[in-house]
Amino acid sequence: SFLALAAAGAQVQQKPFLETTEGTGISIKCSHNNIRTGDFIHFYRQLPGRRPELLAVTAKASKKVQNPEGRLSVSADRRWSELWLERPRRGDAAVYYCALGH
């Protein structure tokens, strides 16, 4: 479950608040300096009143994200990751989480 992943993972750090205008791309960065060899990087979002939903998982490769449209990228040393939302809409306003886990 989401909570187990977040609790089991190493420390991650995110900016507490980001905003953009509709249709303007935005980058959601996540720092995880304590990442271990077997850890995967998970990005979730939680829309108001809904359960968290998994957007993408990767170890180190870049991944396309379908809904919302964008890309998940990871630095070469795996110490940070970034979820780029191409053209966010009003309905994409949510809490976005990153977590480490297996």
The CATH superfamily holding the domain 22-101 is Immunoglobulins (2.60.40.10)
63's CB contacts (< 8 A; 6+ apart) are 56, 57, 71, 72
> What tokens appear for 80 in the block?
């940070």
Q: Phi, psi at residue 2, to the nearest 5°?
A: -60, -45
State how far the Cα of 49 lies from the Cα of 101, in Å rounded to an integer.
Answer: 25
Query: Residues 43-95: pLDDT tens digits?
Result: 999 988 999 999 999 999 999 999 999 999 999 999 999 999 999 998 898 88
Q: 20 falls in which pLDDT band (50, 70, 90)?
A: confident
Please state the pTM of the whole predicted model. 0.84
35's CB contacts (< 8 A; 6+ apart) are 10, 41, 78, 79, 100
State how far the Cα of 88 lies from the Cα of 61, in Å rounded to an integer.
Answer: 23
Range with lowest mean pLDDT among 12-21, 31-40, 62-71, 86-95: 12-21
